[in-house]
């Protein structure tokens, strides 16, 4: 296909595709799917070889959130039967992180529910970062604490954080249909704060909330403009007890096309398959490794993921290798910082069904509620994690 040849050439040159080209990737047929994967795979291998970076989530504070993000099981008004607990102590969080690191993860992502951290919360997380880094040489730590106030990103950086995650989630045009307690601009501002503090910015999206192709392209182009080092691609996990529990809009083929589009638009960044891959990619997960160079190991924040052992076997069977702690994730032109993530240097998880665009006309997919299980182990419990 001339389209794919053009996109590969642009990806190797880090040239931005046109919106029409990005939309055309999403519109390709299932008959052309393997050609799309092969083309995007050339771009992925050019910048990242066959390495797969493993990341591990530690949920520092579960539930109890005052925000109304409709996709989230920790939201205000959620009736999902998730684990709920207040802040883990630094030693508890470090113990949880150790399980993921033992399984091969090189980055620990510390996540806490809430609108944003207080200064006391930043102190707590700083103590946790120190505890993890004192016990694990070379580990990367990413914090995900919500909206940042002035000075907080700098404090996290000083405490040893390498990165900060704050996702855009969807297009600016549809954002108000997902969340009313904060704005799209608030999220953009937090990503800018992370950049300015010298943290490696991590920002991505959630697909499957009823958005249109145009919405997906809008948010990925916005991410390209923000220039994060990492772009997590989440596929909505429709958890019972949330407003989007009935949104089953994704097929494995659709997920692969979305990942391919993200790779073409963001060719040299860490594209991470995040929440929902087991639910929506299912047996097609190994194909997604030809598009993304990063995954989460084991469980997610409030739901179960694939067992860590199965993740490792999948990577090996697909002909890929786990990225080592001594390897730099990003290409040389991006890896300007001191850590393996390539931190930037500095001078100093929709409202009611169908509101998010035109995808409501798409065929209804089979609801696979059997694949959605609430996390009952790991952080916040006495049971061993699934790492």
User: Which pLDDT does position 359 carry in this prediction?
Assistant: 35
pLDDT range class, residue 351, cuts 50, 70, 90: very low
Whether the predicted pLDDT of 30 surpasses 60: yes
pLDDT range class, residue 316, cuts 50, 70, 90: very high
Nearest in space to 26 (alpha carbons), one of 281, 292, 253: 253
Whether the predicted pLDDT of 345 surpasses 60: no
How far, in Å, CA of 95 to CA of 136, rounded? 11
More confident site: 82 or 40: 40
The residues assigned a catalytic role are 65, 69, 72, 109, 142, 202, 272
Q: What is the mean pLDDT of residues 102-118?
A: 96
pLDDT range class, residue 336, cuts 50, 70, 90: low
Whether the predicted pLDDT of 362 surpasses 70: no
How far, in Å, CA of 190 to CA of 147, rounded? 6
At 121-132, the pLDDT tens digits run 999 999 999 999
Q: What is the mean pLDDT of the chain?
A: 90
Q: What is the mean pLDDT of residues 51-75?
A: 92
Could you list the residues known to form a binding site for [2Fe-2S] cluster, using ranges: 109, 142, 202, 272
pLDDT range class, residue 335, cuts 50, 70, 90: confident
Q: What percent of the chain has pLDDT over 90?
A: 78
Residue ranges covered by each domain of the chain = 2-371
How far, in Å, CA of 217 to CA of 121, rounded? 35
The verdict on domain 2-371 having CATH code 3.40.80.10 is no
User: Which pLDDT does position 244 carry in this prediction?
Assistant: 92
Question: Measured on CA atoms in the order 37, 293, 308, 327, is the torsion positive or negative?
Answer: positive
Whether the predicted pLDDT of 355 surpasses 70: no
């Amino acid at each position: 296909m001339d389209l794919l040849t053009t996109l590969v050439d642009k990806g190797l040159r880090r040239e931005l595709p046109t919106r029409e080209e990005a939309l055309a990737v999403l519109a390709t047929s299932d008959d052309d799917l393997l050609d799309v994967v092969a083309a995007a795979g050339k771009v992925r291998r050019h910048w990242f070889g066959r390495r797969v970076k493993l990341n591990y989530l530690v949920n520092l504070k579960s539930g109890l959130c005052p925000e109304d993000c409709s996709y989230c099981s920790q939201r205000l008004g959620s009736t999902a039967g998730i684990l709920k607990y207040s802040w883990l102590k630094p030693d508890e969080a470090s113990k949880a992180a150790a399980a993921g690191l033992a399984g091969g993860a090189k980055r620990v992502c510390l996540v806490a529910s809430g609108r944003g951290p207080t200064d006391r919360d930043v102190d707590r997380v700083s103590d946790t970062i120190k505890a993890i880094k004192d016990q694990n040489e070379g580990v990367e730590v990413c914090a995900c604490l919500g909206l940042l106030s002035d000075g907080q990103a700098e404090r996290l950086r000083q405490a040893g954080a390498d990165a900060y995650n704050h996702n855009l989630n969807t297009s600016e045009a549809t954002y108000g249909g997902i969340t009313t307690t904060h704005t799209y601009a608030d999220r953009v501002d937090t990503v800018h704060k992370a950049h300015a503090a010298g943290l490696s910015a991590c920002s991505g999206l959630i697909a499957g909330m009823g958005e249109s192709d145009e919405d997906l392209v809008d948010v990925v182009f916005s991410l390209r403009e923000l220039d994060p080092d990492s772009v997590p691609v989440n596929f909505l996990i429709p958890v019972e007890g949330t407003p989007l529990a009935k949104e089953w809009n994704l097929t494995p083929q659709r997920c692969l096309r979305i990942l391919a589009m993200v790779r073409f638009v963001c060719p040299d960044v860490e594209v991470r398959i995040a929440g929902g891959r087991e639910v929506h990619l299912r047996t097609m997960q190994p194909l997604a490794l030809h598009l993304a160079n990063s995954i989460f190991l084991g469980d997610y924040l409030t739901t179960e993921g694939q067992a860590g052992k199965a993740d490792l076997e999948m990577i090996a069977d697909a002909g890929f290798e786990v990225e080592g702690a001594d390897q730099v994730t990003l290409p040389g032109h991006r890896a300007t910082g001191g850590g393996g993530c390539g931190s930037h240097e500095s001078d100093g998880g929709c409202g009611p069904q169908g509101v998010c665009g035109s995808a409501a006309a798409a065929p209804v997919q089979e609801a696979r509620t059997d694949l959605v299980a609430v996390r009952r182990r790991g952080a916040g419990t006495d049971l061993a994690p699934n790492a």
